[in-house]
């Protein structure tokens, strides 16, 4: 019940007057533009995975356009050579974490410094806005940053006042969306509310992470959930089947096709072809320095109820326990009363769930290849742009990165990747590899018929 109330409360926060975030459509080329949280990419991949599984026939491209450390001013500088060069027709723009600063909040005159940084962010955003207004064929969506968590009792540096400063950025983003009739998705307020609610019982809780800035896999699933909700996609089932064994009637079949139905008081069987696949939930922590697993978020938000309901309800069975088989494989046993209430197949290791897990693994591989390209653009934006060597990719550029990498740890981390990525031909191979994986996903993500049997033990 608490999760449902939380879901309803968040829904109210989104209905704030902006244009609705329309769901992505067939052949859309979508790009998420942001900082290191976006470059890390988990929430972008989760959104893509939802579309891959829930809309298997709606082929689209979702791209990562994040660069670690970016402020609005940095995003403006790379709009043309990085973002627009990818020819998106939908752009989601987020910034604010880096714009507001960090250690400045522990200095004297912190409020004055924060106000100056907020105003600088606003001016840089206005440059972005003027550029985007020249591109009517791109649908624009502004999205707030997830919050800086300055309230979790977890030790380490705490920049008091940063959360308040970030809210001011959210406000001008929201106002800009309303002014331009662009859509707006709010991550900041709902995730703040989530932290506040859980910290009442556990002061060390954070949906973000130990550095208070970068969400782990669970936080990224919260972000993905919020964005999908802003698109109005919550409540759309994987499938919803209702059968009355007593009358032998199929009462409901939502987003699926049921055929060859056979019923009796102690057995039901039918052929089942869903329109979607369940959303596979990852149980591995994949963020460096953050041990959150995607599955952890299921304890925080009603993701399963909102996005992953593959319901099977069978009424009219004789009392007793029943085995559920799919394609001859036993999925478990339930009493007739539980089957009458309904069970969620999406939470079981069904053949369709295993099919979806293969899609998840391929999507992870896609994101790994894409990450190499993002590291290349990190070097362009965070290093070469300041050395007047942007996109030169020649011997002088390579010598320069080798020189400065000796004393710059972040540059040293990106150096080896750049030594390959500097060759356009090799970057094109990576792009073709991504296309190959996406094409493979869309050849494998179509639901197939399954035989379902419910037999009294």
CATH code for residues 239-348+447-456: 2.60.40
Q: Tens digit of pLDDT for each residue in 387-417? A: 999 999 999 999 999 999 999 999 999 999 9
Answer yes or no: pTM beyond 0.75: yes
Domain 2-230 classification at class level: alpha beta
Confidence band of 38 (pLDDT split at 50, 70, 90): very high
The mean predicted confidence, pLDDT, of the chain is 95
Per-residue three-class SS string for the chain? CHHHHHHHHHHHHHCCCCECCCCCCCCCEEEEEECHHHHHCHHHHHHHHHHHHHCCCCCCEEEEEECCCCCHHHHHHHHHHHHHHHCCCEEEECCCCCCCCCHHHHCCCHHHHHHHHHHHHHHHHHHHHHHHHCCCCCEEEEECCCCCCCCCCCCCCCCCCHHHHHHHHHHHHHHHHHHHCCEEECCHHHHHHHHHHHHCCCCCCCCCCCCCCCCCHHHHHHHHHHHHHHCCCCCCCCEEEEEECCCCEEEEEECEEEEEEEECCCEEEEEEEECCCCCCCCCCCCECCECCCHHHHHHCCCHHHHHCCEEEEEECCCCCEEEEEECCEEEEEEEHHHHHHCEEHHHCCCHHHHHHHHHHHHHHHHHHHHHHHHHHHHHHHHCHHHHCCCCCCCHHHHHHHHHHHCCCHHHHHHHHHHHHHCCHHHHHHHHHHHHHHHHHHHHHCCCCCEEEEEEEC
Domain range list for the chain: 2-230, 239-348+447-456, 355-444
Residue 359 has pLDDT above 70, yes or no: yes
Q: Tens digit of pLDDT for each residue in 236-282? A: 999 999 999 999 999 999 999 999 999 998 999 999 999 999 999 99
Residue 42 has pLDDT above 80, yes or no: yes
């Amino acid at each position: 019940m608490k999760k449902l109330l939380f879901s309803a409360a968040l829904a109210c926060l989104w209905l704030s007057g902006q244009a609705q975030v329309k769901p992505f459509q067939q052949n859309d080329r979508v790009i998420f533009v942001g900082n290191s949280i976006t470059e890390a990419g988990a929430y972008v991949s989760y959104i893509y995975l939802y579309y891959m599984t829930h809309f298997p026939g709606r082929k689209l491209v979702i791209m990562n356009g994040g660069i670690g450390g970016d402020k609005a001013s940095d995003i403006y500088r790379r709009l043309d050579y990085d973002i627009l060069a990818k020819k998106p027709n939908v752009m989601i723009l987020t910034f604010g974490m880096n714009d507001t600063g960090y250690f400045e909040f522990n200095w004297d005159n912190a409020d004055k410094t924060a106000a100056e940084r907020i105003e600088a962010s606003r001016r840089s955003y206005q440059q972005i806005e003027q550029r985007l207004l020249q591109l009517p064929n791109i649908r624009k969506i502004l999205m707030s940053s997830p919050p800086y968590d300055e309230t979790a009792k977890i030790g380490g540096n705490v920049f008091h006042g940063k959360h308040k400063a970030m809210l001011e950025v959210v406000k001008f983003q929201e106002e800009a969306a309303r002014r331009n009739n662009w859509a707006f998705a709010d991550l900041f307020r709902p995730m703040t509310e989530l932290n506040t609610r859980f910290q009442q019982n556990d002061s060390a809780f954070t949906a973000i992470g130990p550095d208070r800035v970068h969400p782990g896999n669970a936080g990224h699933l919260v972000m993905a959930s919020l964005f999908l909700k802003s698109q109005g996609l919550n409540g759309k089932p994987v499938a919803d089947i209702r059968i009355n064994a007593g009358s032998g009637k199929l009462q409901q079949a939502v987003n699926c096709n049921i055929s060859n139905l056979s019923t009796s008081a102690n057995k039901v069987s039918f052929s089942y072809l869903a329109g979607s696949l369940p959303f596979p939930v990852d149980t591995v922590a994949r963020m460096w320095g953050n041990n959150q697993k995607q599955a952890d978020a299921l304890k925080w938000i009603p993701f399963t109820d909102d996005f992953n309901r593959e319901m099977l309800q069978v009424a009219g069975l004789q009392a007793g326990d029943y085995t559920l088989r799919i394609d001859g494989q036993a999925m478990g046993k339930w009493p007739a009363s539980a089957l009458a209430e309904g069970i969620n197949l999406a939470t079981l290791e069904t053949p369709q769930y295993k099919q979806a897990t293969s899609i998840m693994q391929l999507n992870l591989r896609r994101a790994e290849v894409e990450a190499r390209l993002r590291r290349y653009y990190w070097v362009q934006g965070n290093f070469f742009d300041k050395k007047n060597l942007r996109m030169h990719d020649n011997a002088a550029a390579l010598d320069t990165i080798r020189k400065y990498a000796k004393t710059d740890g972040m540059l040293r981390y990106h150096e080896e990747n750049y030594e390959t990525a500097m060759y356009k031909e090799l970057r094109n191979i990576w792009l073709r590899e991504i296309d190959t994986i996406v094409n493979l996903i869309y050849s494998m993500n179509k639901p197939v018929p399954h035989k379902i049997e419910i037999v009294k033990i």
